[in-house]
Structure 1
């Protein structure tokens, strides 16, 4: 990842989208491996959810959240997030702290985004 990125939100979105998605995907896969296999059928999924410990249920909910954010970043808007928001704040928060360069770029993106919002008012 380069550190010579323009400080405009559009340019930073292009640079951030894949690394944020990669980080969220890695976190989701880690949770997926730690949980018992999740069935696809609705009735079986309900039985699976009922069989989980409280910690596993929390991890399953977090996995669903990460999967939704990954889908949103891939162009499939997730419920609760604006379809035109390329990098929802929840995705940025979930990706922070795992890679210092990525965290620094997220900070720059927020500053540029917030400056753009302030300039529009």
Structure 2
């Protein structure tokens, strides 16, 4: 797995938890909100495995809702208490990592 793919996998967990923490939502809406926030290279294939993993870890709870237009049921996601704890940890780790990476990249810019 490429470094970029590994980075995206880790970041998607936190990003998706952050979106779900803002209110109950469903997969397609999550994907659209990530795109609206300039999250790079998002596809259906990358969102649903993360949602499944978050559900298995009990960071989110789900409920099925019948479609208004007669289509298939839609799965809605809500963050759980343990999901909020995990999001808090992620935010702190991201802040620390982002600070360190910014410092490192500034020093690399000085070399160029």
TM-score (norm 2): 0.36
- Higher percent of residues as helix: 1
Q: Which structure's relative contact order is higher, taking Cα pairs within 8 Å and 6+ residues apart? A: 1
- Higher percent of residues as strand: 2
TM-score (norm 1): 0.34
